[in-house]
């Protein structure tokens, strides 16, 4: 799964949470409980972070979002006061539409190094919670997109003769061939690509948590050296 697909999944989750919160508020004659207020605070923070990562400060999405945050209270939600939830959900749906329709000209240019770092932080959190398999898939996706970004920066094609996007192994081979990094780094990336493939195909017994931790450390170091 590429980073852009992970982002799409995250946005779909934000839309779902917004709709659930609005529906709960619409059917409540009194303010919702502390659990929903906490969920709303987390949701509105995630939305703000997502918009700021993808769009410049003068974008209409961010202007609309900031105006909503200023003009409404997100610790209050009931049947007579939930319009703000619908507004923010609508903004997220607009972003979702642009991603799905390809209206963002180059998603990989928008996914800057700080977003890669956020996904690696997510992978680290999953590891600490003993979700090694989900963590391995995320790290592998980040590494693949990072290799693609590195290839583009060095004038190396990221598609094959059939027009299909190159995956980790061919990208790794081309980058090493071009001298972007040495054979030792190439071999290390090959081993992590194998681990990622095992995780993606459900072969969870082929690796352990310690190996995923090493994969995370390698990817963090790789990004710092080559994409920092």
pLDDT < 70 positions in the chain = 1-4, 32, 104-116, 228
Residues of the chain with CATH 1.20.120: 112-226
Beta-carbon contacts of residue 130 (< 8 Å; ≥ 6 apart): 209
pLDDT at residue 67, as a whole number? 94
Rounded to two decimals, what is the model's pTM?
Answer: 0.53
Dihedral (C-alpha) 195, 198, 203, 209: value to the nearest 10 degrees? 30
pLDDT at residue 200, as a whole number? 86
- Cα–Cα distance measured from residue 5 to residue 105, given in angstroms and rounded to the nearest whole number: 15
**Which class would CATH give 112-226?**
mainly alpha
């Amino acid at each position: 799964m590429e980073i852009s697909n992970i982002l799409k999944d995250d946005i779909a989750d934000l839309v779902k949470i917004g709709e659930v919160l609005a529906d709960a508020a619409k059917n409540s004659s009194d303010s919702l409980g502390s659990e929903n207020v906490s969920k709303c605070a987390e949701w509105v923070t995630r939305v703000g972070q997502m918009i700021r990562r993808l769009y410049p400060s003068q974008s209409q999405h961010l202007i609309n979002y900031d105006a909503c945050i200023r003009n409404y209270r997100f610790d209050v939600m009931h049947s007579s006061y939930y319009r703000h939830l619908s507004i923010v959900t609508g903004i997220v749906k607009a972003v979702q539409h642009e991603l799905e329709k390809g209206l963002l000209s180059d998603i990989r240019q928008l996914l800057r190094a700080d977003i890669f770092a956020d996904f690696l932080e997510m992978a680290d959190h999953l590891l600490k919670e003993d979700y090694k398999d989900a963590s391995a898939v995320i790290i592998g996706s980040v590494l693949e997109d990072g290799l693609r970004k590195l290839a583009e920066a060095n004038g190396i094609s990221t598609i094959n003769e059939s027009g299909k996007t190159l995956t980790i192994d061919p990208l790794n081979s081309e980058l090493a061939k071009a001298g972007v990094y040495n054979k030792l780094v190439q071999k290390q990336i090959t081993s992590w690509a194998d681990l990622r493939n095992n995780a993606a195909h459900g072969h969870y017994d082929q690796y352990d948590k310690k190996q995923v931790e090493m994969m995370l450390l390698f990817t963090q170091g790789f990004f710092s050296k080559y994409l920092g």
